[in-house]
């Protein structure tokens, strides 16, 4: 789908360890031969038990999972919006991704230095958020100076844009992200073109101590960060231990369950991170089901059937006729497409059908 999430954070918060974990878990399927596309880009499979349950019904020649792309973005320092550290390069890299995974230090190790004195996750979050706000303020000032002149001529669209610009600037001035501003569809379409950093969805990743991995609630730093995130930003937050995740990623696949059991966890933090990021990007999955291959395909929520067909091949969209759809849970229940159809669980949908997560599809097309 070409959508990606950028991993950001202050220096020495565990960002690199987390990304190393991701690259250790890269997809190596034939469809994605270069899992690490560039030194700072990793492609990983999206954990989805439905795919393997479907595959168990027919034992296909090939099983292909959906994927998610992560971009490792260099550590930010205070003053980045004025060019400190990597400055503008850092901010430009964030503009290129669709969502932000903000890694925050919630562990205390004396042998790992910190950018500031003491461990304070809320302060760390606000350092980065402040730089994002400043960068967006600069963009909005330039845009506003142009649009206000156009609005004075009576241009109706410019007048709408002037209003939303004022609202966004007021939010930024008060330390709020642009996405906190209420907008209608017309205003949203205008603002989308600004590519503001503070319009992007954010997932906060609390990097906790190894001993807290089975019970992160006992970590006081995580508790403070969770309260701040859920109370002020309304974004998502998940706790992980980057060091533990890195150890898990290096183990042979058959040894991972036993190691996780010894830690008191049933699912790796990396899997939870990937799943949360997938949802953060507003992504869903549909499946194609056949003896040759059972495959998970990624689409954006709200896409129509012809658009989803085009993800497989452009000819599928151009010549789209109909799509045969069975819900994943129905196919798993009846264990056969034929029996599911006999029980009225197969539907024929047309061009206006909005695809749903978990649809098992056969597209009809003619070119």
Q: Which residue(s) pair with 203 in the sheet?
A: 101, 236
pLDDT tens-place string over residues 280-297: 999 999 999 999 999 999
> Rounded to whole angstroms, what are the CA distances from 277 to 45, 100, 204?
12, 9, 10
Summarize the confidence of residues 297-319 as an average pLDDT. Answer: 96
State what percent of residues in the chain have pLDDT above 70: 89
Listed range (77-91, 177-191, 263-277) with the worst mean pLDDT: 77-91
Query: 271-276: which pairs have CB atoms within 8 A and are 24 or more residues apart?
Result: 271/47, 272/238, 272/240, 273/18, 273/101, 273/203, 273/205, 273/238, 273/240, 274/44, 274/45, 274/46, 274/47, 274/68, 275/46, 275/47, 276/203, 276/236, 276/238
pLDDT at 41: 85
* Nearest residue to 277 via CA among 66, 9, 28, 31: 66
Q: Please say if the pLDDT value at position 16 is more than 90.
A: no
pLDDT computed for residue 11 by the predictor: 82
**What's the average model confidence in pLDDT over 29-58?**
74
Question: According to the model, what pLDDT value does residue 90 have?
Answer: 64
For residue 30, pLDDT over 50 is answered with no
Q: Which of 334, 322, 335 is nearest to 362 (CA)?
A: 322
Query: Of 1-5, 216-220, 249-253, where does the model show the most confidence?
Result: 216-220
pLDDT over 70 at 134, yes or no = yes
Residue 89: pLDDT band by 50, 70, 90 thresholds?
A: low
- Whether this prediction's pTM lies above 0.75 is answered by yes
Q: Which of 123-127, 180-184, 204-208 has the highest mean pLDDT?
A: 204-208
To the nearest 10°, report the CA torsion of 42, 43, 49, 51: -170
Mean pLDDT rounded to a whole number for the chain: 88
pLDDT of 64 strictly over 70: yes
Q: Which of the four pLDDT bands, split at 50, 70 and 90, describes residue 307?
A: very high
Hey, what are 347's tokens? 């539907």
């Amino acid at each position: 789908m070409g959508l990606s999430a950028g991993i950001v954070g202050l220096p020495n918060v565990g960002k690199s360890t987390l990304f190393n974990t991701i690259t250790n878990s890269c997809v190596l399927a034939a469809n994605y031969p270069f899992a690490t596309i560039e030194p700072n880009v990793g492609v990983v499979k999206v954990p989805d038990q439905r795919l393997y349950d479907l595959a168990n019904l027919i034992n296909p020649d090939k099983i292909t999972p959906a994927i998610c792309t992560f971009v490792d973005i260099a550590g930010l320092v205070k003053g980045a919006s004025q060019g400190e550290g990597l400055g503008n390069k850092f901010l430009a890299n964030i503009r290129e991704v669709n969502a932000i995974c903000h890694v925050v230090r919630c562990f205390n190790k004396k042998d790992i230095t910190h950018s500031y004195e003491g461990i304070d996750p809320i302060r760390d979050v606000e350092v980065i958020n402040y730089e994002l706000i400043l960068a967006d303020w600069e963009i909005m000032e330039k845009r506003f100076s142009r649009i206000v002149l156009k609005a004075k001529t009576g241009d109706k669209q410019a007048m709408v844009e002037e209003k939303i610009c004022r609202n966004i600037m007021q939010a930024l001035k008060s330390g709020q992200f642009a996405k906190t501003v209420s907008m209608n569809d017309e205003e949203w379409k205008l603002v989308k073109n600004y590519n503001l950093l503070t319009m992007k969805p954010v997932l906060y990743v609390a990097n906790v101590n190894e001993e807290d991995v089975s019970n992160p609630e006992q970590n006081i730093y995580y508790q403070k960060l969770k309260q701040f995130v859920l109370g002020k930003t309304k974004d998502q937050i998940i706790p992980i231990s980057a060091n533990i995740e890195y150890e898990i990623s290096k183990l042979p696949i058959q040894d991972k369950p036993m190691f996780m059991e010894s830690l008191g966890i049933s699912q790796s933090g990396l899997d939870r991170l990937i799943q949360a990021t997938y949802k953060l990007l507003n992504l869903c999955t549909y499946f194609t089901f056949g003896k040759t291959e059972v495959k998970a395909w990624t689409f954006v929520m709200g896409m129509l059937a012809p658009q989803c067909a085009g993800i497989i091949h452009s000819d599928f969209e151009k010549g789209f006729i109909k799509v045969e759809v069975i819900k994943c849970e129905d196919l798993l229940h009846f264990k056969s497409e034929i029996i599911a159809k006999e029980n009225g669980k197969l539907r024929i949908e047309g061009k206006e059908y909005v695809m749903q997560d978990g649809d098992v599809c056969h597209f009809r097309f003619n070119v």
